[in-house]
Structure 1
Amino acid sequence: MDKIKQLFQTKNSRRGSYSIAVTAVVIGIVILFNLLVAQLPQKIRQIDISDTNIYEISSTSQKLLKNLDKDVSLYVIAEKGNTDDRIRTFITKYASLSSRLRVEWIDPVLHPSALTKYDTEKNSIVVSCKATDRQTSISFDDILVTESSYYNTSSSATKFDGDGQLTSAVDYVTNTKEYKAYYTSGHGETALSSSVTDLMEKSRISVSELNLLTASSIPEDCDLLILNGPTSDLTKDEAKVLTTYLKKGGNVMSLLAYTDKSMTRLYGILEDYGLKVANGYIADAERCYQGNYYYLIPNLSVSGDMASGISSNSVLMINSKGMTQTDPVRDTINVESFMATSENGCAVTEKKQTQGTYMLGAAATESVTVKDSGGKKKKKDSRLTVYGSNMLIDAQVTESFSTLENLTLFMNSVTANLDSTDNISVSPKSLQVTYNSIAHPGIFSILIIFVIPFMVIAGGFVVWFRRRRR
């Protein structure tokens, strides 16, 4: 015993005891710190370190949840332990942004009657609002989206759409107003891609086809008419139908396209509203993508709702027509450009190039007097929105460049036509590897890609050579 006591009385033993005591205190502090952090809200203590920031809640969703004035319930019909971590984590983080949201997990194995009660299937989220008596269901397959193609035959998810699906569902159950859009056919138009129609449906806008050749008038329930890249002109009767619709307070969106045919009637309507289409196609050596003068990175001048969700101004217009402003046929028409080239833009034809600033996106609005269903007169705004190229929403473009804000700008201009609605559509996030691209190559790009790496390598070689000679 004396020998054991002497062991603990030496200088080394005292140092060891001190180290053990300090270690115990540090461990206690770490445990206490973790307990305190665990009490913080999910939105504060959880940091998104995923490659594509799939847990990041968009500003659109945050705005919707901040202004939420009705209680919404999220019933997750799934076995919580077997649910994908990404879905489980996102639901928790999303619900933490509003005290109006309540999440309840229901195991369909233990409670099979829940499938009948909520009229859904397992592995889904039922979003319900008692105040409006509206309900919708989101399948997990709509959140973790698997897309198979010739190049991708794997069964793993390629997109994560938690933000978009939940925000659309919350907006749907808390609002009763819905809208109707038609896209024209019969003139070589390009059908709207599924990416576009999905985003429109997220904003409570249903979409149908309308053949102007067989329609004597625009349907009364039409809130927005879309002409997506017609390559042949309107007939005289069709032009009259379109003009009448606008004069009665209708909303039209036209995306121009490459064509070698005369478009006198369509371009004539645009010119009546103060938008004259220039001959040829627009090039811009100052605002272009990687030296391709016809791949334009326009100057955006958006504000208010048109600027919602736009942060980088990364919009790509390919083979675009350009417009110049002219006097409209009526003084009540007001023209506003929201996208244009630099001063060095050029309208290029086979014979000449005409330099100037060209509008690539503009809207003409007019306040008109119409009669409601009761025969009373009221004021209504008519809006004609024109984009220089339908490649703005082409799936090959929007899916090839994940950082582009083309669809966001397009959806902002869509909802700008509709009363009492905002663009609440959020695009899915890719789960695939993303690559950075440089939109405006020049001296800075050469410096980053070539000069600096060369200087680093050269400097390392010099240091190595000097050390080798010693």
Structure 2
Amino acid sequence: MGKIKNLFSTVSSRQGSYSLAMTAVVIGIVVFINLIAGRLPSSLKQIDISTNNIYEITDTSRDLLKDLDKGVDFTVLAEKSSADERIRNFIEKYAALSSHINVEWIDPVLHPSALTEYEAESDTIVASCPDTEKTTTVSFQDIITYDEMSYYTTGSLTESEFDGEGQLTSAVNYVTTDVSKTIYTVSGHGESSLPSSVTDLMEKSSFTTEELNLMMASSIPEDCDLLLFYAPSADISEDELNLLTSYMEDGGNVFFIQGEDLTDMPNFSSLMETYGLQPSQGYIADMQRSYQGNYYYIFPLLSVSGDLAENIESQMVLLANAHGFTEGTPARDTITLTPFMTTSSNSYAVTEDGNTEEGSYILGAAATENDSRFTVISSSSMIDETITSQFTNIENLSLFMNAVTANFDDVENLSIEAKSLQLENNTMQYTGLIGIVAIVGIPVIFLIYGLWRWIKRRKA
């Protein structure tokens, strides 16, 4: 016993005991922190470092959830442990933003009657609000979408977009509000079909879209909240012009997206002039605000505020082959014209025969009279998918949806675009030199430093 006591009475043994005790304390602290961290929700312990920021939630959704005063139940009909981790984490992160959202997972394999009870399929989120008694569903396939064309080219499906925020925000808005709007898209004049990206955004804002052929209608339906012309290639008749005029004088809203030149469309031109817009001849070229020297691809100057300014951060909207307007005198003093997209002063209207006229041109405007609103955009490229899909950083669709919802006092633009899941590769120049430095240079530096430290100790 004396020998053992003497063994632990030396300086080295006391230092060793102290080190052992400190090591045990540190290990205990680490274990304790891990136990606490393991119980934290994913919304607190996960950081989104992905290039596409799929877990990022916009201010639009945050404001909606902050003002939420009704309970919303998310019933997820899926086996939780086998569900896609991205969907699982996003639901938890989204629900954490409001105490009014309750999430329950039900395994349809263990509880097959749940599918019948909720009238839904597996891998589905059922959103419901007890106060309004409204219910809607969001499929996992609507959250993570696939590029179907990749199957025909590669034989396998490739993930294309993650739409967790857009789908959940749309569902919450739908089940908690009784407001609904109907948009009639006009046909019969060679109009183009709305792109799927636009119809998807309209669905997210709970807009119902219907088609209306003015040639076959004796009147505009009473439930029409907005009448939309998308790139007509033929003029309206005198009777249709009178129908539109009466509709707008009674407080109706019309949205006109210009297609071909209005030169051969005198009735459309007459409608524009009534509200203070004089159509210009030819295409607009902007020598100052163009895309990489292509003067017919224009970045308009934006003058937006209020509803039109929602989610407009970069101020970058791109229009291709646009026609333009100059400001005239409205037919009535009660009409107020407000341009929200214009060119720079260094712009030209260029006709096919080469004639040019310099000036500043209106590319988008809204005219109001009492409760009526007439919105005009001078180019169909505003919502053309060949533009909006190629240039993902522009805000064409956001401004378009803002202009649509500006027609209604009780509707906000809650349509949120999906986030791309396409892989983005980092590109580096001179990778050969960098590779040599990383593989050879760094180890050599450590080797030299180690040799220097060894020689120094040997001399000491």
- State the partner residue of 2:120: 120
Instruction: Name the CA distance, whole Å, in 2 between partners of 1:329 and 1:251.
Output: 17
Deviation at 1:356, TM superposition (A): 2.1
- The two structures have a TM-score, normalised by structure 1, of 0.85
Q: Is the Cα–Cα contact under 8 Å of residues 262 and 279 in structure 2 kept in the other structure?
A: no
- State the partner residue of 2:451: none
SS, match of residue 417 in structure 2: coil
**Given the alignment of the two structures, is residue 187 of structure 1 paired with residue 189 of structure 2, yes or no?**
yes
**Given the alignment of the two structures, is residue 361 of structure 1 paired with residue 364 of structure 2, yes or no?**
yes
Q: Is the Cα–Cα contact under 8 Å of residues 262 and 268 in structure 2 kept in the other structure?
A: no
SS, match of residue 169 in structure 2: helix
Instruction: Name the CA distance, whole Å, in 2 between partners of 1:383 and 1:326.
Output: 17
- State the partner residue of 1:226: 228
Match of 1:314 among 305, 313, 316: 316
Q: What per-residue deviation string (whole Å, max 9, x for no partner) do you get for residues 307-364 of structure 1? A: 1122112211111111221110011111111111122222222333222221211100
- State the partner residue of 1:66: 66
Q: Is the Cα–Cα contact under 8 Å of residues 148 and 158 in structure 2 kept in the other structure?
A: no
- State the partner residue of 2:418: 428
RMSD: 2.7
Instruction: Compare 97-106 and 42-51 and name the one that shifted more.
Output: 42-51
Q: What per-residue deviation string (whole Å, max 9, x for no partner) do you get for residues 254-278 of structure 1? A: 1112348612211220111011121
SS, match of residue 147 in structure 2: coil
Deviation at 1:66, TM superposition (A): 0.8
Instruction: Name the CA distance, whole Å, in 1 between partners of 2:318 and 2:9.
Output: 77
Deviation at 1:45, TM superposition (A): 3.5
Q: Is the Cα–Cα contact under 8 Å of residues 144 and 162 in structure 2 kept in the other structure?
A: yes
Cα gap change, 1:27/1:324 in structure 2, threshold over 3 Å: closer, same or farther? farther
- State the partner residue of 1:334: 336
- State the partner residue of 2:454: none
- State the partner residue of 1:27: 27
Aligned letter for 1:357?
Answer: S
- State the partner residue of 1:378: none
Q: Is the Cα–Cα contact under 8 Å of residues 163 and 426 in structure 1 kept in the other structure?
A: yes
Aligned letter for 1:388?
Answer: S
Instruction: Name the CA distance, whole Å, in 1 between partners of 2:155 and 2:301.
Output: 39
Cα gap change, 1:298/1:29 in structure 2, threshold over 3 Å: closer, same or farther? farther
Deviation at 1:206, TM superposition (A): 0.9
Aligned letter for 2:199?
Answer: T
Alignment of 1:243-262 (within 5 A): 243-259=245-261, 262=264
- State the partner residue of 1:82: 82
Structure ID, larger Rg? 2
Aligned letter for 2:220?
Answer: I
**Given the alignment of the two structures, is residue 386 of structure 1 paired with residue 389 of structure 2, yes or no?**
no
Aligned-residue sequence identity (percent) comes to 53
Q: How many residues align?
A: 430
Aligned letter for 2:186?
Answer: T
Instruction: Name the CA distance, whole Å, in 2 between partners of 1:152 and 1:428.
Output: 24
- State the partner residue of 1:398: 388
Instruction: Compare 388-397 and 21-30 and name the one that shifted more.
Output: 21-30
Deviation at 1:185, TM superposition (A): 1.7
Structure 2: runs of 5 or more not aligned: 442-460
Instruction: Name the CA distance, whole Å, in 2 between partners of 1:179 and 1:326.
Output: 32
Cα gap change, 1:265/1:423 in structure 2, threshold over 3 Å: closer, same or farther? same
SS, match of residue 351 in structure 1: coil
Deviation at 1:153, TM superposition (A): 5.1
**Given the alignment of the two structures, is residue 347 of structure 1 paired with residue 339 of structure 2, yes or no?**
no
- The two structures have a TM-score, normalised by structure 2, of 0.87
Cα gap change, 1:352/1:434 in structure 2, threshold over 3 Å: closer, same or farther? farther
Instruction: Name the CA distance, whole Å, in 1 between partners of 2:300 and 2:288.
Output: 10
- State the partner residue of 2:97: 97
Instruction: Compare 118-127 and 342-351 and name the one that shifted more.
Output: 342-351
Q: Is the Cα–Cα contact under 8 Å of residues 364 and 377 in structure 2 kept in the other structure?
A: yes
